[in-house]
Chains A and B, each alone.
Chain A
């Protein structure tokens, strides 16, 4: 090692690093799923309208804070497990494989629900854009076209290339900032009010439950740890990038939600959101900007929703692929197209599922914005929240077993804090889900989704027990990712003495 420290990194290290990702690339990867314009124009106005509570800006800041605390322990743990893909692999490392499979069974419907929910928004927005240019098309037709494009791109595994995403994302953020500035510059009653930011609102149970909606807007930030083996400095790059991937959307969404309420006045924002639906922001800024600016915004909104739906589609397919590789799902799901690497069956499964749901909504004439988009993301968000909660417990358990040279804040305090906070949010969500979905208090939708997740988790537990009995070799590999067969449990240890011809071994370091 003396050699490499004396004259900087050696040729191998440099060769490997030249191809690796820095902080910005990793942040893009994480934020791409949570396309900010989708959340700001689609989700925030829908939350204002559906929940009818003005604490939305505050909720985003608090959600970002909670997730930052969660990120501390999560990233610390990611350094100690190889091929850390998704939440379920953390849970199986920290809480055991049975819990891991249960988590995987919760994750599948959760991410699928979020992705399908996005089609509701996509259809609605596309139909609005077309109507403005004089073409009449129902949301269903638009959603079907979007579905078809995503199904084809998913099978071909055409990821929007990093550059395209970067350009779109930069444009989105720019236009959001401009809209925000305009809305704040024209406050209702001539006075910028901070009423919607008052912390006292946090004490109402409804607000705690709204946190799940905010958290749904961050989904995707956890994907950054997948790149830990591709990052320039696995320790620092990933940690920084993950924090950025939480804080950036958090600030952007929080400020935008606040800016909307400044412009309408805190008392009127809910009614305005109900009237304008996803056109809310555009309606608010229209009096102050040239028309072209609004049109650009609509187009970016559409591309943003599409990119988010595509990113989620890829995430769902990849999740099924990972589970197929580990034989938790049938092995056919673990087969990738040899040339493109597309997880074929996962992609097709998700597409078919989405198609069925779209047809059901069309046949029953159900509202795409509230009952598909809002419900899909809320219910999906609940599942992801359960996963985060499980993962935060897994981080605690993992670091109790091995401290692994992480300091007390990262290994114990932050994970415990995150676990307590997420427990509170989860409890509030399960209790208050009916309010979030705006159903009657005697409706089965108050509890059916939570119950369904519980059933999925129980099935996962049973499946894990069956696997342990019937296929112990597959069971041993759960949560170990693609490297399962070759990863020794303990960290590397010196073995040179056990080599047959030690004298010929080129080095003794």
Chain B
């Protein structure tokens, strides 16, 4: 699932902390949740607005919840609005989903006054699976393997939110990967392209303001 893969790429597999500015990874996760609904054929994007095109419940409970919310709040259409809204708790939501799938374990870190639950892979097996997500992408790009829509959308989000350097860091064929990117972007359907563009813009604004 798009958001699961994105989560594992965007978070350090040893510390569980976000590799990006927390607001950026939140926006990336919000975007991948919307992207999942697009891949399921439930959601479309037109000129910056989202439209529910099928109300049929998707199999996943989190995707179902997001779809229900989109249906129940028809007065909000803008991609920007939904990105901002979903970004607020997307990290916890996707973390919980990964927990249910047995991919990560919850770890509570206590600070002076607050406690924060992080979700991170603990066992060797979980760690391998988590690290595999980014290796898989760079391998496929380096060897020009054909990829499904979900992986191509994932790559677009990785690039849009600023994780490119991390994903391709360990690969020898870094240049080859970079050269593939424009073709990957061009191959995406228009809805996903819009979603990615709004995500990139939202991340840019969040970073430009620089408020935590």
A residues engaging B (CB < 8 A)?
A: 1, 3-4, 10-13, 15-16, 18-19, 29, 83, 85, 157, 159, 161, 226-227, 229-230, 314, 318, 321-322, 325, 336, 338-341, 481-486, 488, 492, 495-496, 498-499, 501, 504-507, 509
Residues of chain B contacted by A499 (CB below 8 angstroms): 44, 46, 51, 53
Chain A residue numbers with a CB within 8 Å of B95 are: none
Q: Could you tell me if A339 and B21 are in contact, using CB atoms closer than 8 angstroms? A: yes
Chain A residues, CB < 8 A from B162: 336, 338
- A230 in contact with B210 (CB, 8 Å): no
A488 vs B207: C-alpha distance when bound (angstroms): 22
Asked if B163 is at the interface of the complex by the 8 Å CB criterion, the answer is yes
CB pair A495 B49 closer than 8 Å: yes
- Supplied contacts A11-B69, A336-B162, 20 more A-B pairs, CB within 8 Å: A3-B75, A12-B69, A13-B76, A16-B85, A18-B88, A19-B88, A227-B209, A230-B209, A230-B211, A318-B210, A336-B207, A481-B205, A482-B200, A482-B201, A483-B205, A492-B48, A492-B78, A495-B46, A504-B55, A505-B51
Partner of B74, one of A325, A485, A498, A506: A506
Per DSSP, are chain B's interface residues mostly helix, strand or loop, or mixed? mixed
A507 and B20 CA atoms in complex are apart in Å by: 36
In angstroms, Cα B44 to Cα A504, docked, is 11
B24 touches A505 (CB 8 A): no
Contact with A along B132-165 (1 / 0, CB 8 A): 0000000000000000000000000000001101
Please measure, in the bound complex, the distance between the C-alpha atom of A339 and the C-alpha atom of B204, giving whole angstroms: 13
Which residue in chain B gives the minimum CB-CB distance to A15?
A: B85
- The answer to whether A318 and B208 have CB atoms under 8 Å apart is yes
Which residues of B sit under 8 angstroms from A484, Cβ to Cβ? 201
Residues in A whose Cβ lies below 8 Å from that of B85: 12, 15-16
Convert B25-53 into 0s and 1s, putting 1 for each residue whose CB lies closer than 8 angstroms to a CB of A.
Answer: 00000000000000000001011110111
Alpha-carbon separation in the docked complex, A495 to B69 (Å): 21
Judging by beta carbons under 8 Å apart, are B208 and A338 in contact? Answer: no
The reply to whether the CB of B171 lies closer than 8 angstroms to some CB of chain A is no
Given known contacts A501-B53, A504-B53, A506-B52, A11 and B73 CB-to-CB distance under 8 angstroms: yes
Cα–Cα, bound, A3→B73 (Å): 9
Task: Provide the residues of chain B in CB contact with A321, threshold 8 Å.
Answer: 208
- B99: A residues at CB distance < 8 A: none
Which partner residue on chain A sits nearest B71 by CB separation? A506
Chain A residues in 8 Å Cβ range of B54 = 504
Give the CA-CA distance A228 to B47 in the complex, in Å. Answer: 22
How far is the CB of A23 from the nearest CB of chain B, in Å? 16
**Beta-carbon nearest neighbor of A485 in chain B:** B197
B70 within 8 A of A: yes
Closest to A18 in B: B88
B53 contacts A505, CB within 8 Å? yes
Whether A157 contacts B210 in the complex (CB less than 8 A), given A1-B75, A495-B46, comes out as yes
Shortest C-beta distance, B73 to chain A (Å), equals 5
Indicate if the CB atoms of A506 and B88 lie closer than 8 Å.
no
Q: In the complex, which residues of chain B have a beta carbon less than 8 angstroms from the beta carbon of A1?
A: 75
Q: How far is the CB of B64 from chain A (nearest CB, A)?
A: 15
Provide the residues of chain B in CB contact with A482, threshold 8 Å.
Answer: 200-201, 204-205, 208
Q: Does B93 contact A (CB under 8 A)?
A: no
List, in ascending order, chain A residues with CB within 8 A of B19's CB. 338-339
B185 close to A (CB within 8 Å): no
Does B84 count as interface, using CB distance less than 8 angstroms? yes
Q: Which residues of A contact B48 (CB under 8 A)?
A: 486, 488, 492
Whether A509 contacts B74 by the Cβ 8 Å rule is yes
Output the nearest chain B residue to A314 by Cβ-Cβ distance. Answer: B210
**A226 CA / B21 CA spacing, docked (Å):** 19
Interface: B126 (CB within 8 A): no
- B13-27 interface (Cβ within 8 A of A): 18-21, 24
Q: Are B73 and A83 in contact (CB under 8 A)?
A: no
Instruction: Tell me if B81 is interfacial: C-beta within 8 Å of chain A.
Output: yes
Whole-angstrom distance between the Cβ of B200 and the nearest chain A Cβ: 8
Residues of chain B within 8 A (CB-CB) of A226 are 208-209
Chain B residues with CB under 8 A of A501: 53
**Known contacts A15-B85, A321-B208, A486-B198; A341/B24 CB under 8 A:** yes
B174 interface residue per 8 A CB criterion: no
- Flag if B53 contacts A488 (CB, 8 Å): no
Pairwise interchain contact B201-A506, C-beta atoms closer than 8 A: no
A339 contacts which chain B residues (CB < 8 A)?
Answer: 18-21
Q: Are A4 and B75 in contact (CB under 8 A)?
A: yes
Q: How far is the CA of A227 from the CA of B47 in the complex (A)?
A: 24
Cα(A483)–Cα(B200), bound, Å:
8
Chain B residues positioned under 8 Å from A325 (CB to CB)? 204, 208
Take A12-B81, A481-B208 as given contacts and tell me if A505 and B76 are in contact as well, using a CB distance cutoff of 8 Å: no
Q: Which residue of A lies closest to B199 (CB)?
A: A486
Question: 10 tightest A-B contacts by CB?
Answer: A482-B204, A507-B74, A341-B207, A506-B52, A338-B162, A483-B201, A341-B21, A486-B197, A504-B53, A12-B76
Contacts of B18 in A (CB 8 A): 339
Report the nearest A residue to B76, measured CB to CB. A12
Contact of A12 among B24, B73, B165, B201 (CB under 8 A): B73
30 contacts between A and B (CB under 8 A): A10-B73, A12-B69, A12-B76, A18-B88, A29-B211, A157-B210, A161-B212, A230-B211, A322-B208, A336-B162, A338-B24, A338-B162, A338-B163, A338-B165, A339-B19, A339-B20, A341-B21, A482-B200, A483-B201, A485-B201, A486-B48, A486-B201, A492-B48, A495-B46, A499-B46, A499-B51, A504-B54, A506-B51, A507-B52, A509-B74
Q: Are A509 and B75 in contact, CB atoms less than 8 angstroms apart?
A: yes
